[in-house]
Structure 1
Amino acid sequence: MPNSYFSFIILTYNEEFHLPRLLSSIQSLYAATYILDSGSTDGTVVIANGFGCTVKTNAFVNHPKQWHAALAAFNIQTPWVVCLDADHTASPELVALLAGFTGKGFEDVNGIYFNRKNIFKGKWLRHGGYSPFYLLKMIRFGVGYSDLNENMDHRFVVPGKTVIWKEGYLIEENFKENHIAFWISKHNRYSDLVAAEEWERMLKMRSQTIKPNLLGNPDEKKAFLKSIWWKMPLYVRPFIYFFHRYFIQLGILDGKQGFVFHFLQAFWFRLVVDIKIDELKKGQKQS
């Protein structure tokens, strides 16, 4: 019998390797599943159709805009939607939580955070601020929306009350990123988006949608930390961030894979962003 409480929305682009894993993990929930594809050239759409998913295509600009398009593209018939990326899978414990979800007791709730388990090169990153790591992934349809004030860090926004499901995991493992060339190329593109976004914030062209609050929900805490980050001096902050993640938050305990990830994500990526912001500043002065 079809699930009448929630539907799944998934973003894809050339995900023939990841998509069967995700769809198999949620298949027992019998929930309507909608996929917004970015123009895959592999077997992604064939696989989605094979699992009975409804598929539409939309040209990709960035993740926040793609999620905005996804929430508007489909005729959702359930009060809740679960929004996932193709490299996610739901742990059995998370599936059990979803299987028992009827909306009862959640009448005053508009969003539910899932606990993400991030796996890099086969290793679960349990330190460096990456566990626990809560993502707002289940939202009341028509109430929650994609935050278009971000270029790269896509997140959903809901007014009112949210809750956190600490049990179970949304497992994120992108096998493409096991090849470091792919990871670097991907994050080089992301650094363009982040640098442009931060430059626009410096010019007062953007503001945070979510109110910063160190004692608030996970996204309000992130908004608070970002408000500090944006005030820190370029070129200095990548060193501080890496030191904090690797030594203070014990990323050093994540072994070889942890060193590679924390160094690249916390230092290299942030340094490249700062260099590109500096280039944008110099470009404006010269124009």
Structure 2
Amino acid sequence: MNKNFSFIILTYNEEIHLPRLLNSIKELHAETFILDSGSTDSTLEIANAYSDEVKVNPFTNHPQQWDFALKNFDIKTPWVIGLDADQIVTQQLFDLLKSFNPKDYDDVDGIYFNRKNYFQGKWIRFGGYYPFYQLKMFRNGIGYSDLNENMDHRFIVPGKTIIWRKGYLIEDNLKEYDTNFWLKKHERYSDLIAAEEIERMQKIRNQTLKPSLFGSPDEKRAWFKNLWWKLPLGFRPYLYFLYRMLFKFGIFEGVKGIRFHYLQGLWFRLQVDRKISNLKRRIG
């Protein structure tokens, strides 16, 4: 059994994704813990056949689900890796994990993995989507879930972080080949983000990280979020879409890629702004 790290995986109706992910990590022989949100397909059956422990917890949002997982699984290894069920560990990342020696990282609290995101079989290479670094590996008992986020989840560590630029995760949600599924999913997400932004306006939520344009990948994203919140509602989605298309070369993505940037960069954010405006009117 791997004594260096363990995996935590979140699931909800992931029967088409979970076997793919588990096959990509099984030869690492690491303990695997799965937190499910109440699947109604065969996800729990698959999870129980493979993992070391499975728990079920009702879903509120991703940050709270990760917080529950970190606090309720009895993880013994010094490092933890948090993965989503629709991700896959590539061979390059597998090799980095296979050769991982904790003694080489005595001064490090967290490691960023690179990610390749796919939409309906198309690698989204431009628009700011690659490279894209996520803090996925961190010291057990040190890393925690940022509960100041309502939808986008991120792990935080107090100390030094590094980036593994060569190895990467593939994120390819096969359910999103159905555009209606994608739209319904992002309708729910837009509710969460709109509520979050209202709470930030009311000073109920604050940034956990110190925003920095020249800091870690998450500190840099926090800096851009601070800028985003200051832009006028209804105008900022168009500005962001143009930024992705022109300055981040999304225009070269191809038909399917441009469609993704339109849906994720413009349509989705217009839904958020519309719902924020509605909530503001209700509040008065």
With normalisation by structure 1, the TM-score equals 0.98
**Residues 31-110 of structure 1: matches in 2 within 5 Å?**
31-110=30-109
Deviations 1:11-57 (A, max 9, x none): 00110110000000000000000000111111111111222431011
Deviations 1:103-128 (A, max 9, x none): 12211111000000001110111110
SS at match of 1:201: helix
Cα distance, 1:279 vs structure 2: 0.3
Cα distance, 1:257 vs structure 2: 1.4
SS at match of 1:105: helix
- Off by >4 Å, runs of 4+ in structure 1: none
Match of 1:141 in 2: 140
Residues in 2 aligned to 1:47 and 1:206: alpha-carbon distance in whole angstroms? 37
Deviations 1:227-281 (A, max 9, x none): 0000000001000000000111001111111111100111011111000000011
User: Is the deviation greater in 199-208 or in 44-53?
Assistant: 44-53
Deviations 1:189-221 (A, max 9, x none): 000000000011111111100100000000000
Match of 2:180 in 1: 181
SS at match of 1:48: helix
- Counterpart code for 2:171: E
**Residues 1-287 of structure 1: matches in 2 within 5 Å?**
2-285=1-284
Q: Which runs of 5+ in 2 are unaligned?
A: none
Residues in 2 aligned to 1:254 and 1:35: alpha-carbon distance in whole angstroms? 35
Residues in 2 aligned to 1:76 and 1:238: alpha-carbon distance in whole angstroms? 42
Cα distance, 1:284 vs structure 2: 1.2
Residues in 2 aligned to 1:187 and 1:176: alpha-carbon distance in whole angstroms? 13
Give the count of matched residue pairs.
284
Residues in 1 aligned to 2:168 and 2:252: alpha-carbon distance in whole angstroms? 21
- Give aligned-pair identity as a percent: 61
